[in-house]
């Protein structure tokens, strides 16, 4: 008769990158191998009215560029039809004057200038990002880089957030595979906190926290230029980070060769997640450095791609404390994903 394995004791861990405390409480979940999404994402395959499908370009907001630049495109970058910020509020060169930022009696106010773009990753409605081959995913990554290089010409833009919402419960309003880029006139607090935390680690150890983070117990897969891990203090069950092997501060330092390499690893990880987690909705975010990062910040600033499957909700404790409760230890998650064989 099989015996039930002993339950691990709860632990509190602090992430040296995000500066966030996480409570690992395995008693709050079943076995990690049984951790599945309760609401798998089933994309709507009705492409007749989808503005992101090839042939429906006239239904979209203005196009910024497409690849290749002809009617049979593979990907398009367009303006968001419902942008969070306005690209029309500022001067043509993106220069803000002092009056655009002021301290009122209630707090700071900054004019809502910025760019909110959509990257349509494929012309075919039923194709997901993980269905593309590594070079095609690499093209999507290079499109991010190209758009970042365009936006960096605007002096008032301080930070560019690349992100993907897959599935309605992850925030995707369109089932056609796409990602987004939001260019901000401020550096978000979480970015400042991350940089300050990485600076503190660097001052204490003389080393970049992400250059040191690789561990056999936390490693999932690696390539020539990137490795994927379950982070030591992961806030969410089966959270995954993909990190450049070589120290790199800005995502837009990515070249074509590394983009294909990253595309292959991202494809593998997304396939493993879909198989293990019942095609769970997910978010991914590219955490890069602010555009105007100083030379002194470069030694400890290291970009990475974070993937969060939508398996648990965020409750009052998390919202009130800033701490998270994770029912799955990262080494357990890493072992399950590492040993999972997925045909590519």
Q: What is the CATH number of the domain that holds 274?
A: 3.30.428.10
What pLDDT is stored for residue 3 in this prediction?
A: 47
211 is in an annotated binding site: no
**50 a known binding residue?**
yes
Phi/psi at 116 (nearest 5 deg)?
A: -130, 105
Domain assignment present for residue 97? The answer is no
Question: Does the structure show a pLDDT above 60 at 33?
Answer: no
Domain annotation covers residue 137: yes
Has this prediction a pTM greater than 0.85? yes
The single residue of 116, 166, 178, 201 carrying the catalytic annotation is 178
Q: Is the pLDDT of residue 159 over 80?
A: yes
pLDDT tens sequence across 201-222: 999 999 999 998 878 999 999 9
CB atoms within 10 A of CB 245: 15
Cα 286 from Cα 301, distance rounded (Å): 13
Question: Does 178 qualify as catalytic in the annotation?
Answer: yes
Q: Please check whether residue 104 lies inside any domain of the structure.
A: no
Q: Is residue 18 part of a domain?
A: no
- The separation between the first and the last C-alpha atoms of the chain, rounded to the nearest angstrom, is 38
Q: Indicate the helix (H) or strand (E) that contains 265.
A: helix 256-276
| Domains in the chain, number | 1
Tens of pLDDT, residue by residue over 222-274, are: 999 999 999 999 999 999 999 999 999 999 999 999 999 999 999 999 999 99
138 SS3 class: helix
The answer to whether residue 293 is domain-embedded is yes
Taking CA atoms, 309 is separated from 41, 66, 139, 320, in Å, by: 11, 29, 24, 22
Print the domain residue range for 119: 49-87+109-339
Residue 94 lies in a domain: no
Q: Is the dihedral of CA 314, 316, 317, 321 positive or negative?
A: positive
- Rounded to 5 degrees, φ, ψ at 148 are -60, -45
Element (H, E) at 77: strand 75-79
Angle of CA points 210, 227, 304, to nearest 5° = 50
Q: Kindly state the helix (H) or strand (E) to which residue 244 belongs, with its residue range.
A: strand 240-244
Residue 97: pLDDT band with limits 50, 70, 90: very low
Residue 342, preceding bond cis, omega within 30 degrees?
no
Is residue 164 situated within a structural domain? Answer: yes
Specify which residues 21 forms β-bridges with: 14
Please tell me whether 58 is known to bind a ligand. no
* DSSP codes, 144-213: HHHHHHHHTT-TT--EEEEEEEESGGGT-S--S-EEEEEEESS--HHHHHHHHHHHHHHHHHSS-TTTS-
Any domain includes 31: no
Residue 173 has what pLDDT? 83
């Amino acid at each position: 008769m099989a015996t039930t394995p002993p339950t691990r004791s709860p632990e509190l861990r602090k992430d040296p990158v995000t500066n966030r405390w996480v409570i690992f409480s395995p008693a709050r979940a079943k076995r990690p191998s049984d951790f599945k999404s309760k609401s798998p994402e089933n994309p709507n395959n009705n492409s007749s009215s989808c503005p992101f499908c090839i042939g429906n370009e006239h239904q979209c907001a203005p196009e910024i560029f497409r690849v290749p630049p002809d009617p049979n495109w593979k990907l398009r970058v367009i303006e968001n039809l419902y942008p969070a910020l306005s690209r029309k509020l500022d001067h043509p060169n993106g220069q803000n004057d002092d009056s655009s930022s002021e301290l009122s009696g209630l707090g700071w106010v900054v004019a809502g200038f910025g760019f909110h773009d959509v990257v349509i990753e494929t012309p075919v409605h039923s194709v997901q990002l993980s269905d593309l081959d590594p070079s095609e995913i690499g093209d999507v990554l290079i499109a991010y880089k190209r758009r970042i290089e365009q936006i960096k010409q605007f002096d008032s833009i301080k930070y560019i957030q690349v992100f993907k919402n897959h599935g309605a419960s992850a925030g995707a309003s369109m089932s056609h595979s796409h990602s987004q880029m939001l260019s901000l006139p401020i550096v978000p607090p979480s970015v400042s906190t991350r940089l300050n935390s990485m600076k503190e680690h660097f001052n204490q150890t003389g080393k970049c926290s992400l250059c040191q983070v690789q561990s056999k117990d936390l490693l999932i897969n690696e390539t020539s230029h990137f490795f994927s891990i379950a982070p030591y203090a992961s806030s969410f069950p089966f959270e995954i980070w993909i990190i450049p092997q070589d120290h790199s501060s800005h995502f837009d330092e990515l070249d074509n060769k590394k983009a294909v390499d990253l595309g292959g690893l991202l494809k593998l990880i997304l396939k493993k997640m879909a198989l293990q987690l019942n095609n769970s909705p997910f978010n991914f975010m590219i955490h890069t450095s602010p555009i105007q990062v100083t030379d002194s910040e470069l030694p400890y600033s290291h970009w990475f791609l974070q993937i969060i499957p939508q398996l648990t909700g965020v409750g009052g404790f998390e919202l009130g404390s800033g701490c998270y409760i994770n029912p799955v230890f990262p080494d357990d998650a890493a072992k399950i994903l590492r040993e999972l064989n997925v045909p590519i």
